Amino acid sequence: MLPWLVKRLLMLVPVFLAVSVVIFSILHFIPGDPIDNLLKIGSSPEARAEMEVRYGLDKPLPVQYGIWLGNVLQGDLGTAIVARRPVADLIAQALPHSLRLGGLALLFSTVVGVVLGVVAALNRDRWPDRAIMGGVLVGSTMPSFWLGLILILIFSVSLGWFPVSGARGWQSLVLPVLTIGLGGMALVARITRVSMIEASGRDFVTLLHAKGLSPLRIQLRHVLRHALIPVVTILALRIGWILGGAVTVEVVFARPGLGTLLIKSLSQHDYPVVQACLLMLAMAVMLGTLLGDILQALMDPRVRAALS
Amino acid sequence: MTALLDLQSVSVSIGKVALLDGISLSVARGQILGLVGESGSGKSLTAMAAMGLLPLIGGRVTQGAVRFDGQDMAAMTEAERRKLRGGRIGFVTQNPMTALDPVQRIGEQVDVVSRLHLGLDRKAARARTLDLLTQLRIPEAAAVAEAWPHQLSGGMKQRIVIAMALAGEPDLIIADEPTTALDVTVQAQIIQILGNLVREKGVALMLITHDMGVVAQICDRVAVLYGGRLAEEGAVAPIFAAPAHPYTSALIGCIPQEGMAKGALRGIPGAVPSALAFPTGCRFHPRCDRASELCRSTVPPTDPRGDGRVACHHPGALA
Output the domain CATH number for residue A95.
1.10.3720.10
Task: Give the strands of the sheet with B3-14, arranged side by side.
Answer: B17-28, B3-14, B59-68, B71-72
Residue A77 is predicted with a pLDDT of 82
- Helix residue ranges per DSSP H, B52-153: 78-84, 96-99, 106-117, 122-135, 141-145
- Decide if A98 contacts A260 (C-beta within 8 A): no
A64 burial (CB, 10 Å; 0-12 / 13-18 / 19+) is middle
Q: CA angle, A268 as apex, A63 and A47 as ends, to 5°?
A: 65
- Confirm whether A19 is domain-assigned: no
- The strand pairing partners of B65, in sequence order, are B8
Residue B223 is predicted with a pLDDT of 95
Closest by Cβ to A211, choosing from B56, B86, B148: B86
Across chain B, mean pLDDT equals 89
Query: Looking at the complex, does the CB of residue A81 fall below 8 Å from at least one CB of chain B?
Result: no
Residue B4 is predicted with a pLDDT of 92
pLDDT in tens, A249-258: 888 888 888 8
* Strands B89-92 vs B172-176: parallel, antiparallel or unpaired: parallel
Answer whether residue B2 shows pLDDT above 80: no
Q: What percent of chain B has pLDDT over 70?
A: 98
- Confirm whether A48 is domain-assigned: no
- Chain A residues within 8 A of B161 when measuring between CB atoms: 207
More confident of the two residues A196 and A272: A196
Query: H-helix or E-strand containing B71?
Result: strand B71-72
- Chain B residues within 8 A of A203 when measuring between CB atoms: 93, 95, 98-99
What is the spatial distance between Cα B203 and Cα B293, in angstroms, rounded to a whole number? Answer: 45
Distances (CA, A) of A234 to A230, A293, B102, B187: 6, 10, 21, 42
Angle of helix A171-200 relative to helix A127-141, nearest 10 degrees, comes to: 130
CA B280: distance to chain centroid? 27
Q: Tell me what the mean pLDDT of segment B178-193 comes to.
A: 83
What is the spatial distance between Cα A77 and Cα A146, in angstroms, rounded to a whole number? Answer: 34
- Chain B residues within 8 A of A207 when measuring between CB atoms: 91, 93, 99-100, 161, 164
Residue of A nearest to B167 (CA): A211
Answer whether residue B1 shows pLDDT above 60: no
CA B51: distance to chain centroid? 11
Closest by Cβ to B95, choosing from A203, A225, A305: A203
Q: Find the range with the poorest average confidence among A44-53, A82-91, B156-165, B244-253.
A: A44-53
Secondary structure E strands in chain A: none
Instruction: Verify whether the Cβ–Cβ distance A305 to B87 is below 8 Å.
Output: no
- Chain B residues within 8 A of A301 when measuring between CB atoms: 102-103, 148, 150
Answer whether residue A305 shows pLDDT above 90: no
Q: What percent of chain A has pLDDT over 70?
A: 99
- Decide if B84 contacts B122 (C-beta within 8 A): no
Taking the CA of residue B159 and the nearest CA in chain A, the distance in Å comes to 14
Q: Tell me what the mean pLDDT of segment A172-192 comes to.
A: 87
What is the spatial distance between Cα A10 and Cα A155, in angstroms, rounded to a whole number? Answer: 48
- Chain A residues within 8 A of B86 when measuring between CB atoms: 210-213
Answer whether residue B319 shows pLDDT above 70: no
Q: Tell me what the mean pLDDT of segment B72-76 comes to.
A: 90
Q: Tell me what the mean pLDDT of segment B261-277 comes to.
A: 77
Residue B84 is predicted with a pLDDT of 92
Q: Which of A120, A141, A56, A109 is nearest to A246 (CA)?
A: A109
- Chain B residues within 8 A of A208 when measuring between CB atoms: 101
Across chain A, mean pLDDT equals 86
- The strand pairing partners of A226, in sequence order, are none
Phi, psi of B173 (to 5 degrees): -115, 130
Phi, psi of B255 (to 5 degrees): -80, 125
Closest by Cβ to B150, choosing from A202, A213, A301: A301
Residue B58 is predicted with a pLDDT of 87
Instruction: Verify whether the Cβ–Cβ distance A211 to B56 is below 8 Å.
Output: no
Taking the CA of residue B99 and the nearest CA in chain A, the distance in Å comes to 4
- Decide if B19 contacts B12 (C-beta within 8 A): yes
Residue A178 is predicted with a pLDDT of 86
Instruction: Verify whether the Cβ–Cβ distance B82 to A212 is below 8 Å.
Output: yes
Q: Tell me what the mean pLDDT of segment A63-80 comes to.
A: 85
Task: Report how many domains make up chain A.
Answer: 1
Residue B261 is predicted with a pLDDT of 72
- Chain B residues within 8 A of A299 when measuring between CB atoms: 103
Residue A195 is predicted with a pLDDT of 93
- Decide if B219 contacts B27 (C-beta within 8 A): no
Please state whether A32 falls in left (phi above 0), alpha (psi between -120 and 50) or beta.
Answer: left
Residue B154 is predicted with a pLDDT of 87
- The strand pairing partners of A86, in sequence order, are A79
Residue B148 is predicted with a pLDDT of 93
Instruction: Verify whether the Cβ–Cβ distance A203 to B84 is below 8 Å.
Output: no
Closest by Cβ to A305, choosing from B56, B104, B150: B150
Q: Which of B41, B66, B59, B87 is nearest to B226 (CA)?
A: B41
The pTM is what? 0.82
Can you give the residue range of the structural domain that contains A222?
A: 87-307
Residue A28 is predicted with a pLDDT of 78
Taking the CA of residue A204 and the nearest CA in chain B, the distance in Å comes to 4
Instruction: Verify whether the Cβ–Cβ distance A212 to B51 is below 8 Å.
Output: no
Domain residue ranges in chain B: 3-310
Instruction: Verify whether the Cβ–Cβ distance B98 to A202 is below 8 Å.
Output: yes
Selected residue of A200, A209, A219 to mutate for chain B interface (largest B Cβ count, 10 A): A209
- Confirm whether A143 is domain-assigned: yes
Answer whether residue A5 shows pLDDT above 90: no
Chain B contact residues (CB < 8 Å to A):
51, 53, 56, 82-87, 91, 93, 95, 98-104, 112-113, 116-117, 148, 150-151, 161, 164, 168
pLDDT in tens, A280-294: 888 888 888 899 989
Query: Looking at the complex, does the CB of residue A308 fall below 8 Å from at least one CB of chain B?
Result: no
Correct CATH for B3-310 of 3.40.449.10, 3.40.50.300, 3.30.465.10, 3.40.50.150: 3.40.50.300
Instruction: Verify whether the Cβ–Cβ distance A204 to B95 is below 8 Å.
Output: no
What is the spatial distance between Cα B239 and Cα B218, in angstroms, rounded to a whole number? Answer: 14
B86 burial (CB, 10 Å; 0-12 / 13-18 / 19+) is buried
Q: Tell me what the mean pLDDT of segment A46-69 comes to.
A: 83
Answer whether residue B206 shows pLDDT above 60: yes
Answer whether residue B311 shows pLDDT above 70: yes
Answer whether residue A128 shows pLDDT above 60: yes
- The strand pairing partners of B61, in sequence order, are B12
Instruction: Provide the 10 A C-beta neighbour count for residue A133.
Output: 17
- Confirm whether A263 is domain-assigned: yes
- Chain B residues within 8 A of A305 when measuring between CB atoms: 148, 150-151
**ipTM of the complex, rounded to two decimals:** 0.88
What is the spatial distance between Cα A196 and Cα B178, in angstroms, rounded to a whole number? Answer: 27
Phi, psi of B167 (to 5 degrees): -60, -30
Where does the pLDDT of residue B276 fall: very low under 50, low under 70, confident under 90, or very high at 90 and above?
A: confident
Instruction: Verify whether the Cβ–Cβ distance A209 to B85 is below 8 Å.
Output: yes
Q: Tell me what the mean pLDDT of segment B227-255 comes to.
A: 90
- Confirm whether A145 is domain-assigned: yes
Q: Tell me what the mean pLDDT of segment B112-118 comes to.
A: 94
